[in-house]
């Protein structure tokens, strides 16, 4: 806890342990290309989602039906939480709710990332809300409403994806997306963004992730065709990321986006990642409807528990589950 970037960045220092190796340092992102923006009110949104998920593994959604005030209030309490004193942020740690910095492997990682995180389970609410932060005082009430809205949106998007893939529209509804988590990221201003990263290149270890970014503060980049593309913050939009599990379930039809976060010199950036995950004992495998003699399964099956424990234990954030994505069946 004493390592939280927000507790010491004010002294203006850039500790050596935050300097990333030269090959990982951010250069200028490529200009000209933007990730697709899908209007969920448009008649062809399913086609657009499928295309974006194949080409970019990432897209933004507008007209998503999550009320603007719900989003604004959630972003306010997320910012307020990270602005608390280190003492107030030192919530009682449980398996389902904790505060950390850089990655879960802070003690063993080769270098650190410029971010603090608040993580918690979301569903079922009655089981987990008691572990959520008590400060700011409105946190629980506001975030309960926010996560309920995001859950609805998440299942709508999964249904569109299922339709687009041609699998049962309920394929994701029961076991595959019920275990929802929220990760509230905070990236304080950094004295030298050219030497640091907020988060290293990774794929999300989830089915899909729905990210809320602060208005106007850039930081997220996606890797496409060997280039880094900046993801424009659009007010009132969400960024949807195809996760590694979706790549496997779709038998490679959809692509998990590789992405990273760069830091800013003057501006703090707060984001919230709402992830739809499977239950721990759920078997992850290519959907049966997508596999036949001419489309053999590209990935082995494994339990989500196996996957996530290996992911959490892995030394390298970026390569943690390459083994699952490259483990073709015998
Ligand atoms: C994540 C992530 C991006 C961001 O939480 O996995 O990639 O911009 N976040 O905070
Ligand atoms: Ni991510």
Does 56 score more than 70 pLDDT? yes
Say yes or no: CB of residue 203 within 6 Å of ligand 1.
no
Contact 118, 131 (CB under 8 A): no
Does 187 score more than 90 pLDDT? yes
For ligand 1, atom 5: residue with the closest CA? 273
- Out of 273, 311, 317, give the residue to mutate to test ligand 1, the one with the largest number of ligand atoms within 8 Å of its CB: 273
Q: Over range 13-42, report the average pLDDT.
A: 92
Lowest mean pLDDT among 63-72, 87-96, 228-237: 87-96
Tens digit of each residue's pLDDT (9 = 90 or more) over 235-268: 999 999 999 999 999 999 999 999 999 999 999 9
| DSSP for residue 129 | G
- Out of 201, 258, 259, 270, give the residue to mutate to test ligand 1, the one with the largest number of ligand atoms within 8 Å of its CB: 259
- Which carries the bigger pLDDT value, residue 271 or residue 308? 271
Contact 116, 185 (CB under 8 A): yes
Report the separation in Å between the CA atom of 221 and the middle of ligand 1, taken as the mean of its atom positions: 9
pLDDT given at position 321: 65
How far apart are the C-alpha atoms of 194 and 53, rounded to whole Å? 30
Report the separation in Å between the CA atom of 97 and the middle of ligand 1, taken as the mean of its atom positions: 18
Q: Please state, for a pLDDT cut of 90, what percent of the chain lies above it.
A: 80
In ligand 1, the atom with minimum distance to the C-alpha of 187 is 10
pLDDT given at position 256: 96
pLDDT given at position 181: 97
pLDDT given at position 58: 98
pLDDT given at position 33: 85
Say yes or no: CB of residue 222 within 6 Å of ligand 1.
no
Hey, which residues does 185 pair with through a beta bridge? 117, 271
Does 208 score more than 90 pLDDT? yes
Does 206 score more than 70 pLDDT? yes
Say yes or no: CB of residue 181 within 6 Å of ligand 1.
no
CATH of domain 32-281+294-325: 2.60.120.330
Q: Over range 30-52, report the average pLDDT.
A: 94
Contact 20, 10 (CB under 8 A): no
How far apart are the C-alpha atoms of 121 and 155, rounded to whole Å? 17
The residue behind tokens 């010491």 is: 8
How far apart are the C-alpha atoms of 252 and 93, rounded to whole Å? 37
In the chain, % helix, strand, coil (3-state, to 5) comes to 30, 20, 45
Q: For residue 67, how many C-alpha atoms fall within 13 Å in the half-sphere facing its CB?
A: 7
pLDDT given at position 184: 98
pLDDT given at position 191: 97
pLDDT given at position 257: 96
Domain ranges of the chain: 32-281+294-325
Does 318 score more than 60 pLDDT? no
Contact 245, 172 (CB under 8 A): no
Say yes or no: CB of residue 121 within 6 Å of ligand 1.
no
- Which carries the bigger pLDDT value, residue 130 or residue 94? 130
* pTM for the whole structure: 0.95
Helices (H), 216-321: 244-249, 304-313
Say yes or no: CB of residue 167 within 6 Å of ligand 1.
no
């Amino acid at each position: 806890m004493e390592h939280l970037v927000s507790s010491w960045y004010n002294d203006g220092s850039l500790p050596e342990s935050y300097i990333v190796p030269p090959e990982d340092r951010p250069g200028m992102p490529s200009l000209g290309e933007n990730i697709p923006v899908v209007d969920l009110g448009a008649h062809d949104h399913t086609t657009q989602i499928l295309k974006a998920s194949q080409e970019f593994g990432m897209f933004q959604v507008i007209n998503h039906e999550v009320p603007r005030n719900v989003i604004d209030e959630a972003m306010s309490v997320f910012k307020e939480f990270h602005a608390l004193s280190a003492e107030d942020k030192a919530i009682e740690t449980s398996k389902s709710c904790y505060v950390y910095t850089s990655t879960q492997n802070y003690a063993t990682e080769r270098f650190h990332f410029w971010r603090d995180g608040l993580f918690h389970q979301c569903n079922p609410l009655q089981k987990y809300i008691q572990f959520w932060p008590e400060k700011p005082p409105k946190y629980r009430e506001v975030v309960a409403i926010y996560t309920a809205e995001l859950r609805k949106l998440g299942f709508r998007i999964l249904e569109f994806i299922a339709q687009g893939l041609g699998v049962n529209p309920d394929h994701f509804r029961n076991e595959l997306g019920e275990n929802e988590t929220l990760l509230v990221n905070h990236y304080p201003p950094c004295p030298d963004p050219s030497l640091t990263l907020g988060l290293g290149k990774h794929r999300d270890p989830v089915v899909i992730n729905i990210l809320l970014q602060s208005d106007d503060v850039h930081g997220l980049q996606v890797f496409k065709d060997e280039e880094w593309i900046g993801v424009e913050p659009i007010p009132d939009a969400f960024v949807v990321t195809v996760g590694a599990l979706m790549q496997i379930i779709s038998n490679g039809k959809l692509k998990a986006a590789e992405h990273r976060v760069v830091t800013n010199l003057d501006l703090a950036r707060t984001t919230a990642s709402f992830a739809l995950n499977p239950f721990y004992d759920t078997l992850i495998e290519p959907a049966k409807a997508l596999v036949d003699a001419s489309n053999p399964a590209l990935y082995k099956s494994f339990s989500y528990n196996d996957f996530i424990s290996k992911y959490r234990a892995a030394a390298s954030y970026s390569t943690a589950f390459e083994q699952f994505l490259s483990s073709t069946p015998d």
